Structure formats: structure tokens, C-alpha cells
Chain A
Amino acid sequence: MADLYTQLMRMPVTSTVGKRIGLPQPVELDRGSSAVGGRVLLGGAGRLAEAAARVLAELRADSATALDDPVRELAARAGLDAAVFNPAAPADHRFKALVFDATGISTSAELVELQRFFHPTVGRLQRSGRVVVLGGERRALEGFTRSLGKELGPRGVTVNLVHVEEGAEERIGATLKFLLTPRSAYVSGQVIRVGTNKHKPVAGRTALVTGGSRGIGAAIADVLEREGAHVVRLDLADAELELDITTPDAPERLAERFADGLDILVHNAGVTKDRTLAKMPEDRWQSLMEVNLLAPERITEALVPVLRDEGRIVCVSSLSAIAGNAGQTNYATSKAGLLDLVTDIELDRGITINAVAPGFIETKMTAAMPVGVREVGRRLNSLRQGGLPVDVAETVAWLAGSGVDRNVVRVCGQSLLGA
């Protein structure tokens, strides 16, 4: 479902005119597959390359490395049947993904390894390709990946950085698979931190999705079901569980409903009540706050005791929470408040909490925007297009499975807004 502008840019005459006058040419992003869909080049030889090679082997990804590169020894140990890549030899090598282990970089002088690996290879990336840099908290890498994301985004390529804690090398699987496959279509320019929590597959687990009968919530429920979860959709109407989450007894009723245990809790329900602050009466502020922040806080408190070990909490925040948005002081405050929850709540038993922050997602909410604002909103990101509800849903599903904890992941196509 491409938007009108994107459709125009794919039609012969309009696309020629568009190219001539320098309009952005959004590419169609790959979606819906759990396979990489092309060859993966692995480089860099730090503490993560072997684990990354093992993930590629599990994915049965068509892989390659340079021949006389220490990474090849690691690939061999990981049982990865990697082809040989030599940038100096003519060959029609094209790559769907580039994975670079930057943990071998121990001094600033060695940052040149980034240039050495990516310079001869970025031009060989296919449309809707992937770049994943694996790092160990070296800040310099963030400047690199964020800039590269902006360079490659117009071709539909996403660029993400994964910082992996010492000792968590073997925990990168779920995250790397997500970032390499079309499931992460609209996630770019992100910094993800992987700790030592284990991946716990979604299949067979019970999930509660608030606001689950429409829009992004419905997409989240659909994707979790596709992954084999038993999903309970909560909404005001048209849902298996019809409930107003702001009612005082809602937390208690939910705790009873899930007395036998719950595995995945997705706080998706939310409303907007836009008004500039000067025109914002308290009830308008507070009624939004009830739905978007206070109810999720209360429900979390009530449901954590029934969450099973290795339970997962995922909050749907918003790019507005990070970047701010005129007319949305109430909304942004509530959605940023969810990020406080992610940071502050005390959890144990392997339970994790994370948030996604969607950018411009094509929903009824955005369809109602004025045309000009909507068009600008759509294009103000590296991928030059809006995301789809399923992009948010795939990201939630990844966070609901992987052991990633206390992360805020933007699903915004690397929006120009915000940090």
C-alpha cells in the first residue's frame, strides 16, 4: 500500500520528472519475510564475529567474507560455509547485508577499519539492504552508523548499531536475525543494547495487547499470533477483552483474568488530544494522561506479579516523546513517561521491559492529517517514506522474544527529528 507520492514516483513519466527536479525517490521496502534475501558479507574480527557467523549459519544465509581476513577463521569455527569476497577482483558481488564486528577496534586509530570494510562494499548493497555494526559501547560507532544510515537510507537500506555487553556474545541471535531480515524494514539509525538475558521464543506464550483491535495494536496482535503466541486483544469494543483500562478496577480485573499467568504485556492503547498548551485545559491533558501513561503504570504494577519468568513488557511510545511536537505537550509527556517506566521499574525473574517509538506510520491517525503536513512527515526520514503498522508490530514481536532489556527502539526510518 504505497502512498500517492510513492506511486507517482514509480510511474514512468512522473518518476522521470521527479528525478529531474530532484524529488526523493522512495524505494519499495522488503517486508514480510524472515529470510535475509541475499548474500551477507561478514567482516571485522572482534569478540562477536564468531557468534555472528553462527547466527548466519543458523539462518542458512548465503554468506561471504574476505579471504585472508581473521574473520574467516572465526567463520570456519562457527560452521559458516562462507564464500570468498575480494574487492580487488572483478566480480558481480552484490550484498543484501553487511555485518561488521567493530569490537576488534581497540584504539581510535583503528576506527579506520570502518572505512576499510565499508568503503569498497556499500556500493554493492542491494535495495532494501541491511548494515549492522556490532560494537561494545564505543561511542564513535554511533556517529558512523547514524551518518551511514542517512547516506544509504534513500536506497531503502537500514543501518543499525548493536552494543553487546561482555559475556552476552551468544545472545545476539534474535536481535541480529531481526535486523538482517525484512522484519526490521523501518528500523534504522538505532543503537540497540544486548545484555545477557536469554531469548525466549514467542510461540506458545500468552500475550495481552491493549488497544489490540485496531491500527498498530491489531498489527501487533496479528504478528504475535503469526509467531505462535496466544494473544488476548483488549480494547473498548470489538475485542476479546472489552475493557476501559482507565477504570479504577481495570488493573484488578486484569490480574484476575491472567491469574494463571501471562507472558507478554504490550501497552499499545493510546489516544491523542492535540492542542497547544496555552489552549489546553486540565481535563484534556489529564484524560489523555490516564489512557496513555497512568493506566499502563497501574496495569503494569498489577500484572507483574502474574507475569511468568522471562516475561516481557513492551510499551508503544512515540517519536513525539523523543523529538517533541507542537500541539502534543500532553501526548509527548505521556509517551515519554512510558520511557521512565522502562528505565525505572524494578523487575526480576528474567522479565524485561522495552519500548518502541514509532515515527510516521501510515494509520488512520496520520491519514487524517492535512496533506502538506502528512507529505512532509512522510519524507523527513532516511528512507523517504512512512512506515506501516506491521513494521512496529515486527519490532514489538522481536522485543517480546529476544532478551533485549530496557531499550527504546525507534521505528521511524531514521527520522530527521529527535536524537
Chain B
Amino acid sequence: MNTRRVAIVGGNRIPFARANGPYAHASDQDMLTATLDGLVERFGLEGERVDEVVAGAVLKHARDRDLTREAVLGSKLAPETAAYDIQQACGTGLETVIAVANKIALGQIDVGIAGGVDTASDAPIAVNEDLRQVLLDLNRAKSLPSRARTLTRLRPGQVVPEIPRNSEPRTGLSMGEHTAVMARDWGVTREEQDELAAASHQKLAAAYDRGFFGDLLTPYLGLERDQNLRPDSSVEKLAKLKPVFGGEDGTMTAGNSTPLSDGASAVLLASEAWAAARGLPVLAYFVDAQTAAVDHVHKGEGLLMAPAYAMPRMLGRNDLAFDDFDLFEIHEAFAAQVAATRRAWRDPVFARERLGLDAPLGEIPDDRLNVNGGSLAAGHPFAATGGRIVAALAKALNEKGSGRGVISICAAGGQGVVAILEK
């Protein structure tokens, strides 16, 4: 089958804010619309019909049934631009890029925008589940007496709303608690987590200082940089924080775990011909992607270890090894997650017992990992992270002039997504 090369033309995001910060009153739709408009302005797409916009959010209101389409209608894109939502927890952002890229590769579309948005501030709060059942039954009741009977089931406790929780439905453990188990299983130390977190802040600050984000970012609601960024972060300062997951001798703190965040991102993808016709640059090409999932419910697998499985499948198919990559972007959901995943990739036992490989993938050199900072510093609005990483990696590859980069994103539900970009 003939497929076309998929060009990453550019990206845009709004600075990421900490939950209940500057974006406390911005909805998913507000932020996604603002982000799309920033992208439209940057690439002169005002009033243009883009073939497709694909985006998603993890925490979604019931009213946001077609969040992306509504954002498009509110944006400066032509209202004739089609759109749809997809959702795969923290993999959402990268999955939207994959969805757009695949259609371009197949020739079904020439240009598309992939994006993601999330707010932990403007979280959807739902009616109490008991109350909801009563109300639905009331609606179904046909006669007055049966309606009256249904109403007798109302109880005072039913005023307590359903608030979304950051926990796995099938284990009841929060993501942090799951990661604490992974940290323990893989012998991850507090020191290395804090080192990774400090490096993330320092590298993100350096990237801002040299203007790296100048054409990747649109200020929003008074914020010009990621609110979570602490340029003066250091291992010594991080070492003072108390553990929040894993009990008293836990190693995970608020400093080496990502905070709840608000934000949005978008990436412009196109065929080479479309980009050339517009005189737009190609930052990098989207090469391949792979998802995987683990059974964290019954088989004791680490909740966030799925990328460890996805990566070798993708590399094997492309006949590539870690040595072939210049840049590695591993989403820093938690420093411990990054450390555990790197351990798994260099572990001969994991390679053999879990991956069925004769040899491990190998070590990722520190100087190729998340070179412009990661989620620990930038924050992590769930579905917006994929777009942030794709745009930044494409730009970094473009700056290098040539090379290959790989992305790894872990997601709730025991899932993971990885992808390859190259220039």
C-alpha cells in the first residue's frame, strides 16, 4: 500500500497552569478554542477549511459531547471544518496526532490539526448516582401513583455529588499509589527521582530562556510561561519535601510527581505537498506509533508500565534500536514512572520474561532525555501533554537539522502510547 510522508508543520499551546490557578474559570472548550486560534494565527489559517481537527479531553463534562467540533465552531477556522473527539486517558493527545497522521498518510486528508485539553479546576461534577437513578425512574414512571412512589426514594444523602477521582476504577488505588508500587518493585530511589525533577525544571527554564517556546506558545489569561516551572529548583530543595505516596518511607513527593494542571495544545500536520504549496516548513516527519496495555488488575503489572511493552514492538517493526535515536521524550507523569520504565528497558530479565527478547533495549543516555524539560516542570493537563511533546520534539529535531526522536507516554487504565518522529 502506498502511503505518504506526514509532515509536522508546527504546534501551539497555551502555558500550562496549576489547577485552581489562573485558568480556574476557563473551560476545556475555552482553552482548546484559544489554542486553535493561536495555531491559526501562526500559520495563516484564518477562515480556512482544514480537513479535520481531532482533539480530546480526559476530564469531560457531559455537555462536551462534541468538544472539538464546538471549539472549532468557536475558533477562527472555517465553520466547515470537520472535527471529532477521541479519548485514551493521558494517551489522548498523542492518539489525536496518530489519528490525523494516519489519514494524511493514507491520502484521506491533506491537512489536519491534532490537539488536547484538560482542566482539573473546572472538573465535571455529576449528580449523585442514587439520585440520578431516582430521577431516571421518575422520568420512566407513567402514572401519578408510581411517580409518587419513586419520589419516596429521595434521601438527604443524595445531595452529595459525584466528583471525579484520580483513581483506577478496578483497583481503587490512585495513580500515585500505583506508581509507588512500581517504584518499590523497581528499587527506584528518592534521590534519582529528585534529580530527574530538578533536571526537568532546569532544562525547561533553559529552553524558555533561549526562546525555544517562542513559536510554540500563545500567552493566555496573563500567563506567559508554565506556572509550575521553578527555574531555581534543585535536588536539595526537592529533598525537603515530604512523601505523598507510598507511605512514610515513600519516595514520591509533590516535587517529583506532576501536579494537577490546566492547559491545551495543538499540532498542525499535513502532507508534504500541502506544506510546500503554502510555503510552510516541515519540522519533522511522523513515522510510526504503537499502543500497548498491561493487566494491572490481576497480573500485578505496574499501572504505568505499558510503554515498556509498546516500545519494543514499535522498534522491532521499524528495525530500530535505542542507538538510532537522538532524542527521547518520556512523559514524566511521575519521576518514578520514568525511572521504572528506563530500568525495564535495560533489564535483561524483563526483556526475556515480559518482552520475549533475547536482550534488553538498553540504556537511555541522560543527555538525550527530555532535553527541553518535561511534564514535571511544565505540568500535565492530561490530554494536552501529547501535543506539547510532539510539537517540541519536532522543533528540536528541526533545530538539529536531522535525526530521530521517540516519544513514550503512559496512561491510566494500564495503557501506553509510543511514537517515532524523524527529520
In the complex, B184 has a CB within 8 A of chain A? yes
B window 405-420: CB within 8 A of A: none
Which of A87-95, A127-135, A407-415 lies at the interface? A87-95
In the complex, A2 has a CB within 8 A of chain B? no
Q: Considering the chains assembled together, what is the distance between the CA atoms of A65 and B183 in angstroms?
A: 16
Which of A72, A81, A89 has the largest count of B CB atoms less than 10 A from its CB?
A: A89
Q: Considering the chains assembled together, what is the distance between the CA atoms of A79 and B188 in angstroms?
A: 24
- Within 8 Å CB of A68, what residues of B? 346
- Is the beta-carbon distance between A72 and B187 smaller than 8 angstroms? no
Q: Mark A57-96, 1 if CB is under 8 A from B, else 0.
A: 0000000011110001101110111111110111100000
Contacts A67-B343, A89-B251, A90-B251 given; indicate if A84 touches B186 (C-beta within 8 A): yes
Partner of A72, one of B188, B190, B348: B348
Q: Mark B104-115, 1 if CB is under 8 A from A, else 0.
A: 000000000000
Q: Considering the chains assembled together, what is the distance between the CA atoms of A67 and B351 in angstroms?
A: 13
Contacts A76-B352, A90-B249 given; indicate if A85 touches B347 (C-beta within 8 A): no
- Is the beta-carbon distance between A89 and B347 smaller than 8 angstroms? no
- Is the beta-carbon distance between B187 and A81 smaller than 8 angstroms? no
Partner of A84, one of B250, B347, B353: B347
Partner of A76, one of B190, B251, B348: B348
Contacts A67-B343, A91-B184 given; indicate if A86 touches B349 (C-beta within 8 A): no
- Within 8 Å CB of B353, what residues of A? 76, 79, 81
What are 8 A-B interface contacts by the 8 Å CB criterion? Answer: A67-B187, A73-B348, A76-B352, A83-B185, A84-B185, A86-B186, A86-B189, A90-B190
The 3 closest A-B pairs by CB, nearest first: A86-B187, A76-B348, A90-B249
**19 other A-B residue contacts (CB within 8 Å) besides A84-B343, A86-B188, A86-B189:** A65-B349, A67-B343, A72-B348, A72-B349, A73-B348, A76-B352, A77-B348, A77-B352, A80-B349, A81-B353, A83-B185, A84-B186, A84-B187, A86-B186, A88-B189, A89-B184, A90-B190, A90-B249, A91-B187
Q: Mark B320-353, 1 if CB is under 8 A from A, else 0.
A: 0000000000000000000000010011110111
Majority secondary structure, B binding face: helix
- Within 8 Å CB of A88, what residues of B? 187, 189
Mark A residues whose CB is within 8 Å of B. Answer: 65-68, 72-73, 75-77, 79-86, 88-91
CB distance from A338 to the nearest CB of B (A): 46
Q: Considering the chains assembled together, what is the distance between the CA atoms of A79 and B185 in angstroms?
A: 19
- Is the beta-carbon distance between B351 and A76 smaller than 8 angstroms? yes
- Within 8 Å CB of B184, what residues of A? 89-91
Mark B residues whose CB is within 8 Å of A. Answer: 183-190, 249-251, 343, 346-349, 351-353
CB distance from B336 to the nearest CB of A (A): 10
- Within 8 Å CB of A65, what residues of B? 349
- Is the beta-carbon distance between B349 and A75 smaller than 8 angstroms? yes
Q: Considering the chains assembled together, what is the distance between the CA atoms of A114 and B313 in angstroms?
A: 40
- Within 8 Å CB of A67, what residues of B? 186-187, 343, 347
- Is the beta-carbon distance between A89 and B187 smaller than 8 angstroms? yes
- Is the beta-carbon distance between A79 and B347 smaller than 8 angstroms? no
Q: Considering the chains assembled together, what is the distance between the CA atoms of A65 and B346 in angstroms?
A: 14
Q: Considering the chains assembled together, what is the distance between the CA atoms of A73 and B358 in angstroms?
A: 10
- Within 8 Å CB of B183, what residues of A? 89
Q: Considering the chains assembled together, what is the distance between the CA atoms of A83 and B186 in angstroms?
A: 8
- Within 8 Å CB of B346, what residues of A? 68
- Within 8 Å CB of B250, what residues of A? 90
Closest partner residue, chain B, to A73 (CB atom): B348
- Within 8 Å CB of B185, what residues of A? 83-84
CB distance from A328 to the nearest CB of B (A): 53
CB distance from A412 to the nearest CB of B (A): 38
Q: Considering the chains assembled together, what is the distance between the CA atoms of A88 and B352 in angstroms?
A: 25
CB distance from B106 to the nearest CB of A (A): 40
- Within 8 Å CB of B251, what residues of A? 89-90
- Within 8 Å CB of B348, what residues of A? 72-73, 75-77
Q: Considering the chains assembled together, what is the distance between the CA atoms of A85 and B189 in angstroms?
A: 11
Q: Considering the chains assembled together, what is the distance between the CA atoms of A89 and B188 in angstroms?
A: 6
- Is the beta-carbon distance between A72 and B189 smaller than 8 angstroms? no
- Within 8 Å CB of A91, what residues of B? 184, 187
Q: Considering the chains assembled together, what is the distance between the CA atoms of A73 and B360 in angstroms?
A: 10
Q: Considering the chains assembled together, what is the distance between the CA atoms of A80 and B184 in angstroms?
A: 20
- Within 8 Å CB of A85, what residues of B? 187
Which of B183, B187, B250 has the largest count of A CB atoms less than 10 A from its CB?
A: B187
CB distance from A198 to the nearest CB of B (A): 28
CB distance from A70 to the nearest CB of B (A): 10
Q: Considering the chains assembled together, what is the distance between the CA atoms of A84 and B348 in angstroms?
A: 11
- Is the beta-carbon distance between B352 and A79 smaller than 8 angstroms? yes
Q: Considering the chains assembled together, what is the distance between the CA atoms of A84 and B184 in angstroms?
A: 9
- Is the beta-carbon distance between B189 and A89 smaller than 8 angstroms? yes
CB distance from A57 to the nearest CB of B (A): 10
Closest partner residue, chain A, to B243 (CB atom): A90
- Within 8 Å CB of A77, what residues of B? 348, 352
- Within 8 Å CB of B351, what residues of A? 76
Q: Considering the chains assembled together, what is the distance between the CA atoms of A91 and B249 in angstroms?
A: 8
Q: Considering the chains assembled together, what is the distance between the CA atoms of A77 and B347 in angstroms?
A: 12
- Within 8 Å CB of A83, what residues of B? 185
- Within 8 Å CB of A66, what residues of B? 187
Contacts A67-B343, A90-B249 given; indicate if A76 touches B349 (C-beta within 8 A): yes
CB distance from B241 to the nearest CB of A (A): 15
Q: Considering the chains assembled together, what is the distance between the CA atoms of A85 and B185 in angstroms?
A: 8
Q: Considering the chains assembled together, what is the distance between the CA atoms of A66 and B343 in angstroms?
A: 11
Q: Considering the chains assembled together, what is the distance between the CA atoms of A75 and B350 in angstroms?
A: 11
Q: Considering the chains assembled together, what is the distance between the CA atoms of A336 and B231 in angstroms?
A: 77
- Is the beta-carbon distance between A82 and B349 smaller than 8 angstroms? yes
Closest partner residue, chain A, to B352 (CB atom): A76
- Within 8 Å CB of B190, what residues of A? 89-90
CB distance from B353 to the nearest CB of A (A): 4
Q: Considering the chains assembled together, what is the distance between the CA atoms of A316 and B43 in angstroms?
A: 91
CB distance from A60 to the nearest CB of B (A): 13
Closest partner residue, chain A, to B184 (CB atom): A91
- Is the beta-carbon distance between B352 and A72 smaller than 8 angstroms? no
Q: Considering the chains assembled together, what is the distance between the CA atoms of A66 and B186 in angstroms?
A: 10
Partner of A81, one of B188, B249, B343, B349: B349
Q: Considering the chains assembled together, what is the distance between the CA atoms of A79 and B184 in angstroms?
A: 23
CB distance from B402 to the nearest CB of A (A): 32
Closest partner residue, chain A, to B343 (CB atom): A67
Which of A68, A85, A90 has the largest count of B CB atoms less than 10 A from its CB?
A: A90
Q: Considering the chains assembled together, what is the distance between the CA atoms of A72 and B190 in angstroms?
A: 23
Closest partner residue, chain B, to A63 (CB atom): B349
Q: Considering the chains assembled together, what is the distance between the CA atoms of A79 and B343 in angstroms?
A: 18
